[in-house]
């Protein structure tokens, strides 16, 4: 399920088409035009049109038109879109010039309206024939977005000139000049677009600075896809000491591998802030950029830490506010990153909207209200979300959490009703029950498993169990983890580690006493213990969970100081270092520990 929602540009999806150039363009140009389906699901798709200049002079301005029989464009990016079938798309100025042998792409999302993906003919003057360009188009740029506008931009400007010294930037398969004075992002020098060395070096292998065809450096890339066709972003970004610190080569001195996500056949994920949250990954600042670079290099799936919960998406009954969540999901899909939805139903009072906290009705009316919420959210993201935490934290050690507003009004029935509704809304998504403090086994784990067995016996749709894994270096035992993994596997359900973090201090340990006795610095000893712990958890997961039942492993946060643990577990008394990357966006020993386990190396 994870893999089928991740697609790449490919000639198998293209259709040969004609293309039109705008009135400002050079006449009698020859180009090749491709219609690409980049992601196809039951109700819709995302696609792109690629314009390649196969002539001998520059194209200066372009526009294209196409028409569907049944499909409908719902949003577009990197273009000015007009019309409502037929559609006309024109350049945005910054992507209007196409040099000979180079290409430009723009993207769009389509509602299939119950039909199949169509292959419309694109018409115009510039694409009168010719062959495909030998240089593939670039489709990424290191730019950020405003989360309010749900947008950003992905530049495919290109230039074929070579700067002094013979070095160029291989930007995802297209050669550009290296900037001589621009320190970061994209620049405009000597009347042409160029890429700053630091930005070029931030791509994954095999791309980067090249000299004579060989790559000189590679690391991470960051590109943000717009969900609004009217928003235009600059193709350059400000440099800073913090963002510079985050750009390290991969494999680097600190890691023996290039990318965590490339070491696993299952999702290696991370939880992220977004929308109006502090440190949103879509913010146009060094923190947003640094996080995006880490995510695009190392993680194949993201989880929204907050903005896909009930109070964010459904604050008034029947009035759904999807803007911020759509921006995050669109960004993820544009970067070939999957999405795990968190969470459809959670009892926490501050995450339940006022309309539901104040709702008065019979049990059946409560069930109907719950179904409206679950179906409304899950159907909106159907085809774009890999999986959901359908119900979160419904148990305590003694049994069902009876102080939940859902339990108070529907009893335990609300859990199965939520799973049934989620399956109706998106039958292709994996559905998980998610909880904390189950890693050590009973009693909470036993309660959850009793429910899961009952669901399986009665054919209530459930695909897996999510273990949050807010654990410590010294708790729980690895043998306990293995036992709970094995028990879920024996039931035929998937296992997903959903919220993994490991602080160096254990506030519940007899050895911890703030301010008298605690680990106050991230010493080599603390880092090594943390590295081995991360490694042993992933190792146990791989040993006990067969490939077909691996739902993935997600770390709860990108960089250390953004972790929820510092405030909510340690009362902001001191620093903790619970995650894989530090505040300079550099990998820590635990990142190597996860990589070691994924590569089958011993945990040491």
Active site residues: 393, 499
Q: Which residue has the tokens 């188009």?
A: 137
The DSSP element (H or E) to which 324 belongs, if any, is: helix 323-334
Compute CA distances 447 → 323, 396, 411, 416, 442, whole Å. Answer: 37, 8, 15, 15, 8
Burial 429-447 (b: 16+ CB within 10 A, else e): bbbbbbbbbbbbbeebbbb
Q: How far apart are CA 279 and CA 274, in angstroms?
A: 7
CB 454 within 8 A of CB 412: no
Q: What DSSP string describes 245-269? A: HH---SS-SS-SSS-SGGG-SS-EE
- Opening angle at CA 408, ends 321 and 350, nearest 5: 40
CB 462 within 8 A of CB 451: no
Q: What DSSP string describes 188-251? A: EETTEEEE-HHHHTTSPTT-EEEETTEE-----------S-TT----S-----HHHHHH---SS
Tell which residue, 579, 554, 469, has the closest CA to residue 261.
554
Burial of 358 (0-12, 13-18, 19+ CB in 10 A): exposed
CB 184 within 8 A of CB 238: yes
Half-sphere exposure of 261 (CA within 13 A, CB side): 21
Print the SS3 string covering 397-408: CCEECCCCHHHH
């Amino acid at each position: 399920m994870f893999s089928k929602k991740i697609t790449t540009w490919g000639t198998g999806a293209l259709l040969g088409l004609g293309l039109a150039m705008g009135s400002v363009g050079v006449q009698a140009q020859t180009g090749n035009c491709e219609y690409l389906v980049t992601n196809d699901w039951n109700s819709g798709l995302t696609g792109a049109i690629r314009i390649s200049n196969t002539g001998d002079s520059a194209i200066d301005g372009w526009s294209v038109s196409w028409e569907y029989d049944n499909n409908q464009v719902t949003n577009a990016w990197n273009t000015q879109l007009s019309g409502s079938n037929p559609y006309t798309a024109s350049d945005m100025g910054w992507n209007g010039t196409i040099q000979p042998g180079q290409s430009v792409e723009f993207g769009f999302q389509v509602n299939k309206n119950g039909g199949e993906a169509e292959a419309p003919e694109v018409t115009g003057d510039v694409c009168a024939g010719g062959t495909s360009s030998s240089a593939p188009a670039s489709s990424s740029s290191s730019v950020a977005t405003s989360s309010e506008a749900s947008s950003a931009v992905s530049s495919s400007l290109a230039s074929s000139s070579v700067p002094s010294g013979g070095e160029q930037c291989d930007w995802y398969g297209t050669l550009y000049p290296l900037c001589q004075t621009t320190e970061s992002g994209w620049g405009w020098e000597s009347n042409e677009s160029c890429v700053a060395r630091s930005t070029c070096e931030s791509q994954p292998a095999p791309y980067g600075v090249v000299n004579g065809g060989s790559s000189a450096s590679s690391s991470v890339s960051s590109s943000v896809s717009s969900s609004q066709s009217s928003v235009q972003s600059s193709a350059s970004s400000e440099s800073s000491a913090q963002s510079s610190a985050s750009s390290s080569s991969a494999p680097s001195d600190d890691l023996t591998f290039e990318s965590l996500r490339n070491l696993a056949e299952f999702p290696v994920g991370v939880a992220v802030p977004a929308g109006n949250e502090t440190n949103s990954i879509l913010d146009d600042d060094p923190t947003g950029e640094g996080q995006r670079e880490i995510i695009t290099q190392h993680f194949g799936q993201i989880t929204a830490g907050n903005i896909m919960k009930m109070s964010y998406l459904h604050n008034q009954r029947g009035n759904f506010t999807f803007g911020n969540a759509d921006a995050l999901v669109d960004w993820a899909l544009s970067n070939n990153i999957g999405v795990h939805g968190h969470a459809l139903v959670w009892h926490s009072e501050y995450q339940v909207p006022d309309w539901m906290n104040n709702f008065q009705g019979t049990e059946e009316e409560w069930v109907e209200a719950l179904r409206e919420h679950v179906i409304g959210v899950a159907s909106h993201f159907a085809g774009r979300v890999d999986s959901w935490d359908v119900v979160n934290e419904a148990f305590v050690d003694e049994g069902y959490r009876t102080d939940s507003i859902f339990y108070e009004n529907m009893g335990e029935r609300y859990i199965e009703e939520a799973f049934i509704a989620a399956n109706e809304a998106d039958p292709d998504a994996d559905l998980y029950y998610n909880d904390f403090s189950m890693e050590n086994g009973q009693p909470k784990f036993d309660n959850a498993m009793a429910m899961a067995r009952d669901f399986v016996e009665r054919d209530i749709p459930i695909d897996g169990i999510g273990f949050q894994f807010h654990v410590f270096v010294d708790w729980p035992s690895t043998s306990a983890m293995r036992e709970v993994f094995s028990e879920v596997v024996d039931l035929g359900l998937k296992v997903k580690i959903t919220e993994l973090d490991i602080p160096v201090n254990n506030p519940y340990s007899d050895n911890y006493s703030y301010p008298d006795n605690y680990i106050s610095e991230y010493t080599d000893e603390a880092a090594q213990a943390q590295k081995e712990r991360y490694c042993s958890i992933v190792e146990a997961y791989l040993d006990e969970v067969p490939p077909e039942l691996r739902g993935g492993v997600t770390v709860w946060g990108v960089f250390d100081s953004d972790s929820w643990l510092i405030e909510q577990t340690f009362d902001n008394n001191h620093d903790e270092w619970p995650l894989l990357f530090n505040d300079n966006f550099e990998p820590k020993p635990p990142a190597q520990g996860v990589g070691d386990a994924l590569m089958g190396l011993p945990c040491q």
